[in-house]
Structure 1
Amino acid sequence: MLLVMVWAGAARADYRDSVSALRIGLVETHVAAADPIKLEAIRLAFANTLGIPVEIIKLGSYAALIDAHASGRVGYAIHSARSFAATEAACGCVRAFRSPVAADGSTGFRSVLVARDSVNKPVAELKVGYSNEASVSGWQIPNQAMSAGSLEQPNLVRGGGVSAVIDLYQSGKIDGFFAWLPDVPGDAGSDLKHLFGGWNQPVISAADPLRIIWSSQRIPYGPHAVHRSMPEDLVDALGVFLDEMALKAPGLLDIFEPAYGGGYVIPDPEDYRNIRGLVEALSDRQSASRIP
């Protein structure tokens, strides 16, 4: 009889017995972070679903988020693709369990080099605009490709921002520019109407026609990730909650994932490998800057 009671108690044991609270980390630039009412709605939804206390930790930057997640101060975090790759590289202690899907069905993006269709020059002879060095799609990914030799280096023109780059193209001062296209599973992804996610399309289409010269590999959107110390059944419960959010709580999805409206997918463990080179390059530059 005692053995049966012990077995029954073990069968009922779950993450509620070992996790006193779930701490969710997100950066202050997240749309919901500035609105206490929205943050409380998110916190309550997670707490009621999971049956444990939930605390939302706002971090001032992705660097702070990386540190908080790698150290285990937060168990669950909403990352950019690059911050997740940096956290994984720092500790090997996190894993992506869901990634968002945009309203257009895309699960990531590709960096592209587009050029005036009427211009037939080698890439090395093109005048190509880019926004600024902080742009992942507009500079960092193309720069990595140029450094690796998989893309010839054109004559580069710094615009300072996307609008400025488009102005340079319209005025004929550059032959093309670096941009990004959403990556939709099963789609060829070459429709230039979706350049920059369709942003400012009337202005772009009013200029000379473009063609794609070069495309990067797919970069997935930033994932929802957990610390590897988190119990598997808690991760499963979180996954189910996110999967059902679009149908059961669409209003909450709008608050929690304002940039995406297509729900979530389970990412492949290697989905973020294409961003690791950027993290390594950044680490190398930071190390070099500390050398006297």
Structure 2
Amino acid sequence: MKAALKTWTALMAVNGAFCCGPAWADWRDDIGTFRIGIVAEPGAGNTVPGLAVLTQAFTNALGMKVEFVVARDYAALIEAQANARIEYAIYSATAYAAALQRCECVEPLVAPVDSNGAAGIRSVLLTRDGKLPGLADMETRRIAMPPPDSVGGSLLPLAGLAAEHVRIAEDAPFLVHAPSASAAETMLVDGEADAMFGWVKAAADGQPRLPGGTQARLEASDLSASALQVVWTSGLLRYGPHAVRGDLDPEAKRRLTVFLTNLKSTTPDVYDLLEPKHAGGFMPVAPKDYAAAEAIVRMVSVDGRQQVLQQSLQGIVTLLRGRR
């Protein structure tokens, strides 16, 4: 009897190894090394401040080997994630939207906020002393517009108005193309323009304005706050997300989200290394939060604005055109 029991136990152990072994497989084993893509700051080459500290922090959060991959620009970062060479990427808002258009394989996890709660920017059409009563009167006024490298003052308003069926041609006679955002502000202050496109910081809860941006700078100049009126406000352009491949294991996504949303409170020094520009911590985000960024990328890719893509998207739209 004992011999039979030992034989049965041995057979069950063998069968368990064959039938149930794969259940022991872990998503970490499938990935091997978790690779995080990041674009270095201009002039920094392939260096990222605090890289060893960041690598260890992500290693602890995921329980696996982590490696940072420094891309030369966002176009290279998009290609790396689209081709599954990296699992995780830190994008600008428009770069994320371009990545989504490239392969629909990316998913935003979190995005930073400012210490005052700002989650991004909104474009605004500002006038002084009521000179522009409404959008219907634009063609009879002079409206200053910053160059394309001012996303909030150029790309966002053009895309946002088009979504509201108010399409403005780049060569519209009522537009006065300023060489810089500050030059556009000067035109409004000096009376050379009746209105201008600019931007304001905004929270995610619909609050239209927080300190900072074009309106604050104008109010700090010779224009009083009472002299300025907001004629139109766009949707929110969120700060750029940390995004993963959509096919990443749900447990990995959960671990990353928990790690990132708690990072500011648990290890603020690591947070400052990972996100030096926005001091308020990370918030979970969803694809719908980047509708404004998607509208910008669609507009640029359809219109073929070469100057726009060179100045603001680092050749991303060129990449997209080559893949369509």
Please, what TM-score do these two structures have when normalized by structure 2?
0.77
- Deviation sequence 1:62-114 (CA, Å, 0-9, x none): 11111111111111001111111111111111111112222111222211111
State the 1:215 CA deviation.
Answer: 1.0
2:309 corresponds in structure 1 to none
CA 1:202–1:30 in 2, change beyond 3 Å: closer, same or farther? same
Matches of 1:243 and 1:114, distance apart in 2 = 35
2:139 corresponds in structure 1 to 124
Contact 2:38–2:68 (Cα < 8 Å) also in 1: yes
CA 1:244–1:146 in 2, change beyond 3 Å: closer, same or farther? closer
Instruction: Count the aligned residue pairs.
Output: 289
Contact 1:69–1:227 (Cα < 8 Å) also in 2: yes
Aligned residue for 1:141, secondary structure, equals: helix
CA 1:204–1:19 in 2, change beyond 3 Å: closer, same or farther? farther
AA paired with 1:261?
Answer: A
Contact 1:254–1:261 (Cα < 8 Å) also in 2: yes
The yes-or-no answer on 1:279 pairing with 2:297 is yes
State the 1:213 CA deviation.
Answer: 0.5
The yes-or-no answer on 1:169 pairing with 2:188 is yes
1:144 corresponds in structure 2 to 159
Report matched runs for 1:36-185 at 5 Å: 36-121=48-133, 122-147=137-162, 150-151=165-166, 153=168, 155-185=174-204
Between 250-259 and 26-35, the greater mean CA deviation after superposition: 26-35
Structure 1 gap segments, 5+ residues each: none
State the 1:17 CA deviation.
Answer: 2.5
AA paired with 2:112?
Answer: P
- Deviation sequence 1:126-161 (CA, Å, 0-9, x none): 222121023321111222345556447572112222
CA 1:148–1:30 in 2, change beyond 3 Å: closer, same or farther? same
Q: 1:22 aligned to 24, 31, 34, which one?
A: 34
Q: Percent identity between the aligned chains?
A: 30
AA paired with 1:220?
Answer: R
Report matched runs for 1:215-230 at 5 Å: 215-230=233-248
AA paired with 1:175?
Answer: D
State the 1:16 CA deviation.
Answer: 2.6
CA 1:44–1:224 in 2, change beyond 3 Å: closer, same or farther? same
CA 1:150–1:112 in 2, change beyond 3 Å: closer, same or farther? farther
1:260 corresponds in structure 2 to 278
- Deviation sequence 1:217-247 (CA, Å, 0-9, x none): 1222211100123222111111111011011
CA 1:135–1:187 in 2, change beyond 3 Å: closer, same or farther? same
User: Please, what is the CA RMSD of the aligned residues?
Assistant: 3.2
State the 1:197 CA deviation.
Answer: 8.5
CA 1:31–1:42 in 2, change beyond 3 Å: closer, same or farther? farther
Structure 2 gap segments, 5+ residues each: 1-8, 307-317
State the 1:32 CA deviation.
Answer: 8.5
Aligned residue for 2:37, secondary structure, equals: strand
Please, what TM-score do these two structures have when normalized by structure 1?
0.85
AA paired with 2:109?
Answer: F
CA 1:25–1:275 in 2, change beyond 3 Å: closer, same or farther? same
State the 1:199 CA deviation.
Answer: 5.7
Aligned residue for 1:16, secondary structure, equals: helix
CA 1:286–1:171 in 2, change beyond 3 Å: closer, same or farther? closer
